[in-house]
């Protein structure tokens, strides 16, 4: 528990409000409530600010007049959030176990099978009939539903890749305070990594199948019965619908939404929201400016061919 005054000093913020206010945790703006601190990164989220129930908000000076609660005014909101996130970072420590100690195992369901060298962190919940292979790491606060199979070398709940750049071009990592919540009947292939959420949870719904070496970034939501083949990268905060199929080696960019029943061909790069359907997207590598210019024409080829066919028919008809 920290006071708003302490937090303001830590992030070098101009405080508008009650410096003695107790702040218990961080939360996203739409979810924040009493005793919680949130942030508004830009004016495009002004509507969220006006409706926020947070006890305090980190924001820029141009949004101060619209803030309905206590405010911490900073020059770089995202950088300030990166710094303060570590104030609230979940800390856990492992020590030796005395012979007289009692180890609580109620968080592990019946008939669960735990392989060699598995690490299960503090406050984790493991469902019934779960099979966990050797050398799996499930970090603090993560949840695994019933009947899941987790292959060797999987890491669940690793720190996400969030960073803020300061004026001197130095990176500041953001502490990730969310967890990973996995539904029932989920299969996770060897050496797959699922990052914990920043403030909310990364969510893998029931029936999802992940192949080997898949990377699921922070705050991703994957709908029920979606299947993802080996080597796929899903960027932070992407949302995949139910029954999606993603081929091996594909890359889904951050914040992308795939509708239910979307199919992505292997090695494709997905950089825009997609409705249900089958999509393929890859071209040979080239200089970035050349690629952008060529891509602009590539997506118009069908229309150009149609236009040329009409012109050709017109010429033949003369």
Catalytic residue numbers read 218
Q: Give the list of residues 6+ apart from residue 22 with CB closer than 8 angstroms, or none.
A: 1, 2, 3, 35
- Please give the C-alpha separations between residue 141 and each of 35, 114, 209, in angstroms, as whole numbers: 21, 18, 22
Cα 233 from Cα 269, distance rounded (Å):
10
- Please give the C-alpha separations between residue 282 and each of 60, 181, 240, 262, in angstroms, as whole numbers: 40, 32, 20, 17
Q: Give the Cβ contact number of residue 218 at 10 Å.
A: 26
What are the CB-based long-range contacts (under 8 Å, 24+) for 40-44?
40/77, 41/77, 41/78, 41/81, 42/77
Identify the sign of the CA torsion 217, 219, 220, 225: positive
Beta bridge partners of 58: 39, 72
Strand, helix or coil for residue 161:
coil
Q: What are the tokens at 288?
A: 């970035």
């Amino acid at each position: 528990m920290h006071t708003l005054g302490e937090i303001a000093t830590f992030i070098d913020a101009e405080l508008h409000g009650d410096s003695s206010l107790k702040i218990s945790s961080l939360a996203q703006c739409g979810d924040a409530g009493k005793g919680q601190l949130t942030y508004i990164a830009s004016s495009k989220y002004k509507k969220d600010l006006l409706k926020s129930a947070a006890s305090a908000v980190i924001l820029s000076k141009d949004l101060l007049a619209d803030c309905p609660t206590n405010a911490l005014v900073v020059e770089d909101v995202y950088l300030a959030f990166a710094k303060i996130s570590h104030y609230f970072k979940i800390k856990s420590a492992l020590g030796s176990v005395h012979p007289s100690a009692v180890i609580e195992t109620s968080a592990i369901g019946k008939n669960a099978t735990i392989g060699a060298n598995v690490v299960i962190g503090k406050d984790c919940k493991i469902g019934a009939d779960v099979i966990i292979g050797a050398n799996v790491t499930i970090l603090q606060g993560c949840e695994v539903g019933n009947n899941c199979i987790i292959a060797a070398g999987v890491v669940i709940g690793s720190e996400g890749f969030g960073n803020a750049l300061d004026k001197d071009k130095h990176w500041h990592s953001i502490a990730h305070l969310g967890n990973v919540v996995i539904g029932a009947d989920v299969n996770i292939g060897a050496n797959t990594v699922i990052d914990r959420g920043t403030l909310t949870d990364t969510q893998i719904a029931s029936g999802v199948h992940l192949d080997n070496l898949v990377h699921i970034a922070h705050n991703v939501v994957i709908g029920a019965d979606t299947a993802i083949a080996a080597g796929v990268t899903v960027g932070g905060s992407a949302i995949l619908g139910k029954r999606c199929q993603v081929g091996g080696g594909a890359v889904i960019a951050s914040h992308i939404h795939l509708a239910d029943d979307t199919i992505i061909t292997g090695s494709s790069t997905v950089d825009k929201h997609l409705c249900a359907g089958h999509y393929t997207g890859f071209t040979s590598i080239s200089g970035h400016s050349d690629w952008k210019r060529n891509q602009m024409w590539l997506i118009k080829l069908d229309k150009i061919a149609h236009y040329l066919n009409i012109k050709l028919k017109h010429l033949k008809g003369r």
